[in-house]
Structure 1
């Protein structure tokens, strides 16, 4: 499915997703555990980590809080 977003946006989403995955793993959480903490579906966490979804700011803030890192470390 083609995206209406520029390639640089898609690649940044992948970088952010990789940072989220690393922070989740460092926190010792599975995708399901993180999803439970942020009241999301584990498939949503999977899509965020793989850069295939465009998460809202609220979800990113919840994820940062759940894994114990500042939001800036995830999205910088």
Structure 2
């Protein structure tokens, strides 16, 4: 099976959006605001918003920090 670059780019975008939604839903389930999370991580507001919307490509370290702040494991965010 040959994967085309544009197919790969679309897949990556969908996966980033899926992870971002999982972060947002989990954060909201724990009654945390975006501000509480991005200040605790720490990171700037716009970058955090881009992660939740799937526009940013967060590092593993950033995902680990976000998971810790919202009280889940990174595997919870990636499943």
TM-score for both structures, normalised by structure 2: 0.86
1:16 maps onto 2:43 in alignment? no
State how 1:59-70 maps to structure 2 within 5 Å. Answer: 59-70=62-73
How large is the RMSD of aligned CA atoms in angstroms?
Answer: 1.2
Q: For 1:19 and 1:73, how far apart are their aligned partners in 2? A: 8
* Shift in Å, 1:23: 1.0
Structure 2 spans left out of the alignment, 5+ residues: 1-5
Please identify the structure whose Cα radius of gyration is greater.
2
- Matches of 2:40 and 2:26, distance apart in 1: 14
Deviation at 1:29, TM superposition (A): 1.1
SS in 1 for 2:57: coil
Match of 2:34 among 31, 39, 52: 31
TM-score (norm 1): 0.90
Deviations 1:27-73 (A, max 9, x none): 21111110011010111110000000000011100000000111001
Q: Which ranges in structure 1 are unaligned for 5 or more consecutive residues?
A: none
Displaced runs of 4 or more, over 2 A: none
Please state which structure has a larger fraction of its residues in helix: 2
